[in-house]
Amino acid sequence: MSLFGKGYNDKAIPVTDKQKRTVDSGVYQGTVKNAFIGKSAGGATSVSLEVKLDSGKTIFETIYVTNREGNNTYEKDGVIGYLPGFLTVNQIVLFATGKDLFELESELEERIVKQYDSKAGKQVDKPAMVIVPLLEQPILVAIKEVRENKTKAGDGNKRITLAEDRVYNTIDKVFHPSTFHTQAELEQDKEATYIDTWKKDNEGKLDDRYKSVESANSATVSKPSSTGLFKNL
């Protein structure tokens, strides 16, 4: 053996320049490779998505469709609105299958999928209810590249903001994969123009939400806060 070790290995991956793990903010075509139901420690229902983008990268995102009480809505100043996460997932399902989230509940199947296990500190194989009709369906989504502070668990439901940052992708808007309409544009019989507005405002731009630790910790950060899996309207 050489002084410098055992040498090259034909099975080693090729040498490449380091590539970032996120994609730039933009509108992307993709295919749903996995979609399964989860539950937070506080009882909120989530849908975890694995989407293979036509550009070659794969994005993963866990989106909460209910709060801890199982509601798909929130109330603020006397006005009731839908949770952003519920709207995102429901629109993906509607455009991909022609059905809403609740109509697909009878078509869920329990399968073994890789999920993050907090106790193990890594991805492990665990059973979950999979939204089978959504698999291998094409989608068109606006994805943001976001930078924000890392956090750690504090007392109760509070999160402590750290000085370290993290950069990740999140689905910001959903479009019909063939007509490019939003749900609102289709329901209001409007032309598909919002996609261009979104691109003008966001394409290639980093959504920088990072704050100094002192100012960030002056506000309380809480964890996401479920009759059918997806509750009801």
Look at residue 171 in the predicted model and tell me its pLDDT.
Answer: 98
Closest by CA to 201, choosing from 160, 161, 144, is: 144
Please give the structure tokens belonging to residue 72. 């798909």
Concatenate the DSSP letters of all residues of 94-157 into one string: HHHHSS-TGGGGGG-EEEEEEEEETTTTEEEEEEEEE-GGGTT-EEEEEEEEEEEEEEEE-STT
Question: What are residue 121's phi and psi, to 5 degrees?
Answer: 70, 25
Beta-bridge partner residues of 128? 111
CA–CA dist 102, 47 (Å, integer) = 13
Please give the structure tokens belonging to residue 126. 């665990």
Please give the structure tokens belonging to residue 22. 């996120």
**DSSP state, residue 43:** S
Mean pLDDT by 10 residues, the chain (233 residues): 63 63 96 96 94 95 95 94 96 97 95 88 92 98 96 84 94 98 97 98 97 67 51 54
Question: What are residue 196's phi and psi, to 5 degrees?
Answer: -70, -35
CA–CA dist 181, 195 (Å, integer) = 8
Which residue type is seen at 1? Answer: M
Segments in the chain forming alpha helices (H):
84-97, 183-187, 194-202, 213-216
Look at residue 223 in the predicted model and tell me its pLDDT.
Answer: 46
- 49 φψ region: left (φ > 0), alpha (ψ -120 to 50), beta (else): beta
Look at residue 17 in the predicted model and tell me its pLDDT.
Answer: 58
Look at residue 233 in the predicted model and tell me its pLDDT.
Answer: 44
Look at residue 231 in the predicted model and tell me its pLDDT.
Answer: 63
Question: What are residue 189's phi and psi, to 5 degrees?
Answer: 55, 45
* Distance from the Cα of residue 170 to its chain's centroid: 5
Look at residue 224 in the predicted model and tell me its pLDDT.
Answer: 47
* Distance from the Cα of residue 39 to its chain's centroid: 14
Look at residue 119 in the predicted model and tell me its pLDDT.
Answer: 82
In contact, 115 and 122? CB cutoff 8 Å: no
Look at residue 217 in the predicted model and tell me its pLDDT.
Answer: 60
Look at residue 229 in the predicted model and tell me its pLDDT.
Answer: 62
Q: What is the pTM of this model?
A: 0.82
Please give the structure tokens belonging to residue 37. 């139901």
CA–CA dist 28, 54 (Å, integer) = 7
